[in-house]
């Protein structure tokens, strides 16, 4: 639940948002790698326009979330979504914007029929959205330096136990130098 006394709108990004998203993400993370990742994913075949979501009020962007396709390689290969990055402008953190974006992103992922969403993130934050350690479900991280409790999955309604194997990021994640960082 957003803790604002004004309306926060969640919507898919549009072309006029790109510079504002870049600035917001750079301010939230204090570095350009995550915004570079967004630009590279946006230019790839792994990008889903409906899953690049902004939170705004009065035309000002407060936050952004991106879910894009990655692959799990095991006995079978299948596409899942990666939640990366989630950014909220520093002036608007801890007010529910990240929660609203995460819930909206996961709802849209569910409607897409994807079996699961992976995230490399803070183990104290993402479990509130149903994320669990990926290793509990036979899904291996792409980078050994990522702590086990920070590599998580959210199983969606089309999940089946056969979806097991190692996460493989597309080139955009490596080109942005964000794998395992």
Average pLDDT for the chain:
93
CATH class, range 9-175: alpha beta
CA–CA dist 79, 71 (Å, integer) = 5
Q: Which long-range contacts (CB under 8 A, 24 or more apart) does 106-111 make?
A: 106/130, 106/154, 106/156, 108/50, 108/51, 108/53, 108/67, 109/51, 109/67, 109/81, 109/156, 110/156, 110/157
CA distance 113 to 136: 22
pLDDT, one tens digit per residue, over 114-162 is 999 999 999 999 999 999 999 999 999 999 899 999 999 999 999 999 9
**pLDDT for residue 1 is more than 50:** no
Segments making up each domain of the chain, as ranges:
9-175
Residue 6 binned pLDDT confidence (cut-offs 50, 70, 90):
low
12: helix, strand or coil:
strand
Is the pTM for the entire model greater than 0.85?
yes
Token digits for 93? Answer: 């953190």
């Amino acid at each position: 639940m957003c803790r604002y006394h004004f309306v926060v709108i969640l919507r898919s990004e549009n072309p006029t948002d790109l510079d504002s998203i870049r600035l917001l993400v750079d301010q939230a993370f204090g570095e350009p790698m995550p915004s570079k990742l967004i630009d590279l994913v946006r230019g790839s075949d792994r990008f889903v326009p409906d899953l690049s979501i902004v939170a705004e009020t009065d035309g000002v962007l407060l936050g952004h979330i991106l879910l894009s396709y990655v692959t799990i390689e095991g006995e079978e290969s299948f596409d899942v979504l990666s939640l990366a990055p989630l950014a909220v402008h520093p002036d608007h953190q801890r007010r529910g914007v990240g929660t609203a974006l995460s819930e909206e992103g996961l709802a849209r992922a569910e409607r897409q029929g994807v079996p699961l969403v992976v995230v490399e993130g803070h183990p104290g934050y993402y479990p509130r959205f149903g994320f669990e350690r990926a290793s509990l479900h036979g899904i291996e991280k792409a980078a050994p330096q990522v702590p086990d409790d920070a590599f998580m999955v959210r199983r969606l309604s089309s999940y089946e136990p056969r979806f097991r194997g190692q996460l493989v990021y597309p080139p955009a994640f490596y080109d942005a130098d964000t794998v395992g960082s």
